[in-house]
């Protein structure tokens, strides 16, 4: 096994490279914010001289628009990993281009010389430079090795190398969920005191999935992971203390080609006991999504052990509650 690391670099040079990567990834995420079904790249293909990740995302989210949040509140996606990025010739070319930009935009002369020594040492060798790739805060990857050389066919990848579990976390972070399609009976602008509020969906909810994949023939890598979110329950919060009960939770049922709810005859339906006056009550609907992942590019793959946190999607409706007017003769 033969590995050498490009560790001789100035703080300025490292920061420029990492910031460029972070900006590319942030830009790609913003472009896909209002997606339904399709594929996006995080920017750059392995060995093309660009700084960025080669992970691709394919998503299926009919009506999806809001980012999935974790039910635990303390989950965060993978921050850094190593992935194959450059042949030796491509990295040498990239280093030359960075030096030509000067020390403020690229790298200084001493750093360029150190990098040239490293690439010269691997000239004509069969392998690739693996790059540390940031996703969240660019500063999270300033410390540590930026590139690691890996011989072709080496069965022992770098520590923190990209793998299906990392891809599953990235897919979770990219998943968009539809807002709860809640219909109220009576309607939100016609609710009345002491009348139970019944809940239905305006349309069935489908499961949602995102696949993250990375393929690099030169490095002998072709991996993927698919994160699948399935809606399981709906919670309704009345938005006021003047309601009995103040909240209700319903299990979703599979019907009509998706998942639905109908609280007709349910043991729990919110009843407002006081008028909202000239204002409204902020009723909140929250769907819990059971999230699993599998190490394939299909949503129907065998789920892996260690599920991801449940996901949440939320919407709020302004509910007007009136008093029933009666005439006494």
- Token pair listed for 100: 């030509």
When mean pLDDT is compared across 149-153, 176-180, 310-314, the lowest value belongs to 149-153
The three-point CA angle 71-73-78 to 5° equals: 100
For residue range 211-255, what is the model confidence (pLDDT) as tens digits?
A: 999 999 888 889 999 999 999 999 999 999 999 999 999 999 998
- Helices in the chain by DSSP H: which ranges? 11-31, 88-100, 109-121, 164-174
279 contacts: CB under 8 Å, gap ≥ 6 = none
Q: Is 129 helix (H, G, I), strand (E, B) or coil?
A: strand
For residue range 53-100, what is the model confidence (pLDDT) as tens digits?
A: 889 999 998 877 889 989 887 888 888 889 998 999 999 998 888 888
Q: How does DSSP assign 130-156, residue by residue?
A: EEEEE-S-GGGGSSS-SEEEEETT-SS
């Amino acid at each position: 096994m033969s590995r050498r690391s490009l560790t001789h670099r100035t703080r300025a040079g490292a920061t420029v490279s990492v910031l460029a990567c972070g900006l590319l990834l942030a830009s790609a995420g913003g472009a896909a914010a209002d997606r339904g079904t399709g594929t996006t790249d995080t920017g750059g293909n392995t060995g093309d001289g660009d700084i960025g990740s080669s992970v691709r995302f394919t998503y299926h989210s009919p009506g999806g628009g809001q980012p999935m949040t974790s039910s635990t509140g303390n989950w965060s996606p993978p921050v850094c990993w190593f992935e194959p990025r450059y042949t030796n010739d491509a990295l040498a070319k990239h280093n030359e281009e960075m030096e030509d930009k000067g020390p403020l935009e690229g790298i200084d002369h001493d750093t360029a010389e150190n990098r040239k020594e490293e690439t010269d040492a691997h000239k004509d060798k069969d392998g690739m430079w693996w790059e540390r790739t940031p996703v969240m805060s660019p500063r999270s990857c300033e410390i540590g090795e930026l590139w690691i050389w890996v011989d072709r066919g080496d069965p022992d990848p770098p520590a923190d190398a990209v793998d299906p579990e990392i891809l599953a976390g990235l897919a979770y972070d990219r998943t968009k969920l539809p807002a709860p399609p809640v219909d109220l009976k009576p309607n939100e602008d016609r609710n009345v005191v002491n009348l139970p509020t019944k809940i239905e969906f305006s349309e069935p909810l489908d499961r949602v999935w995102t696949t993250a994949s990375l393929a690099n023939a030169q490095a002998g890598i072709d991996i993927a992971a698919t994160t699948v979110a399935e809606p399981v329950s709906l919670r309704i919060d009345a938005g006021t203390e003047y309601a009995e009960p103040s909240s209700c939770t319903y299990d979703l049922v599979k019907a009509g080609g998706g998942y639905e709810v109908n609280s007709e005859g349910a043991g729990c339906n919110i009843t407002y006991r006081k008028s909202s006056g000239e204002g409204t009550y902020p009723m909140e609907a929250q769907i819990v999504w059971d999230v699993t992942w599998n190490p394939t590019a299909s949503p129907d793959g065998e789920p892996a052990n260690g599920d991801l946190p449940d996901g949440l999607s939320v919407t709020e409706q302004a509910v007007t509650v009136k008093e029933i007017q009666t005439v006494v003769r």
